[in-house]
Amino acid sequence: MALLARPWRNPAAWATAADICVILVAISLPWSTTLVAIFAAAAIVSMAPFLDLKAFLQSLKRPICALPIALFALAVVGTLWSEAPWATRLYAIGPTTKLLMLPLLFYHFERSARGVQVFVAFLASCVLLLAMSWIVVFDPRLALKPGAAYGVPVKNYIDQSQEFALCAVALALPIVTLLRTNRITQALLLSAIALSFVVNMAFVIVSRTALVTMPIMLAVFALLHLKWRSIAIIFCTAIVLAGLAWAASPHLRWTTATFLRDYQIYRELNQPTSIGLRLEFWEKSLRFFAEAPIIGHGTGSTRGLFEQAATGPKVLAGGEVVSNPHNQTLNVAVQWGVIGIVGLYAMWLVHLLLFRGDGLVTWIGLLVVVQNIFTSLFNSHIFDFNPGWMYVLGVGIAGGMVLKTGPREATSGPRNSVKS
């Protein structure tokens, strides 16, 4: 019995268990919401027994921890002035609770040595999802959910595109680093993986959000890690490859053409197209914000406001009722006004500033924040499940590793070593 009890009293064993649980969260994220919730809860339980409470509470004073907690607290307090039913108010707090995981991840991975393993696990899981996507293309019956979209074995094409885009762009830095150190075989392997993600998005399915934001993410990489001559060469090459992909992929042409088509259908026929609905939601949300600009209408109030503002039958764009305006800033503004907007942007800013150094870890953290900021122009990606957890895991783990070594020490060498 003493031998069995010994591991339960060993802080290192609990820390290892927490690491494993977080790795399982990363593996599960592309596939299951239920497993993510289970393993995240297990990770918290594993971190708790030997948590240095004094040190942890001290760490909460840092803005990178305090601001996510403040957003959650604002959602809780915002229930007091909301006119929505109490069940709706309490339900609307839920999307902000994942932010409470950030301080725990910062604290844990400031002390853990397995952060990179979590990122590798997420990449491996996305590669498996990529393979499954191609399988489903050839045999839709093998999809893991009924009525699955073309090439989407689980969840939805928006989450899948977000994951593939993040992995493809994140691999750019290790590829360049390997090329600069003449490790050609490894560089070619990672290049093949990154290219496979891009090919899947070009020829199978891609969200328009990823189509817009992925070039921005690549531009950030080029500006940070490449010389101007290399940027010019890659830019020209990218134009040629994009032209070839456009000519070879009917799906890519169709997806791009829907931007203008959806807008025209919305304006001329008031039909609920994707772009048309977003414009409708944004216009109404700005009006709701103007009615209560300081503290908003309260937590969970969005759907009720849209119900009051609905015009015409539900089959028309003006009659659509939603609880999410498909823009993170407006989602926050409607519920909590300027106070919420300031909290949201302050959190994004301090997390961006955390990743000012060089190297793979800081690059991953920076990329996760940049992706979330720009995709949140078209969706509420802090509050959505998959993109929100991608943000929490990426920022929390990379941030903890940066805090452990210092922003300028979490590097693979000076920035010039990866410029080409």
pLDDT at 410: 44
Tokens found for residue 297: 């209408």
CA distances from residue 177 to 54, 222, 264, 349, 383 in whole angstroms, order as listed: 40, 13, 46, 27, 34
The backbone torsions φ and ψ at residue 306, rounded to the nearest 5 degrees and listed phi first, read: -70, -35
pLDDT at 339: 95
Decide if 390 contacts 373 (C-beta within 8 A).
no
pLDDT at 417: 39
pLDDT at 138: 83
CA separation for the pair 402, 110 (Å, rounded) = 7
Among candidate residues 79, 132, 68, the one with its CA nearest the CA of residue 101: 68
pLDDT at 315: 47
pLDDT in tens, the chain (420 residues): 444 445 556 778 888 899 999 999 999 999 999 999 999 999 999 988 888 888 899 999 999 999 999 999 999 999 999 899 999 999 999 999 999 999 999 999 998 889 999 999 999 999 999 999 998 888 777 777 777 677 788 888 888 989 999 999 999 889 888 888 888 899 999 999 999 998 888 888 777 777 778 888 888 877 776 666 666 666 666 666 666 655 655 655 555 556 556 555 555 555 556 666 777 888 888 999 999 999 999 999 998 888 887 766 554 555 667 788 889 999 999 999 999 999 999 999 999 999 988 888 999 999 999 999 999 988 888 999 999 999 999 999 999 999 987 654 444 433 433 443
CA separation for the pair 266, 109 (Å, rounded) = 48
CA separation for the pair 38, 27 (Å, rounded) = 13
pLDDT at 318: 57
Enter the pTM of the model.
0.86
pLDDT at 286: 92
CA separation for the pair 373, 367 (Å, rounded) = 10
Q: SS in 3 state form for 9-29? A: HCHHHHHHHHHHHHHHHHHHC
pLDDT at 256: 59
pLDDT at 415: 40
pLDDT at 226: 67
pLDDT at 7: 58
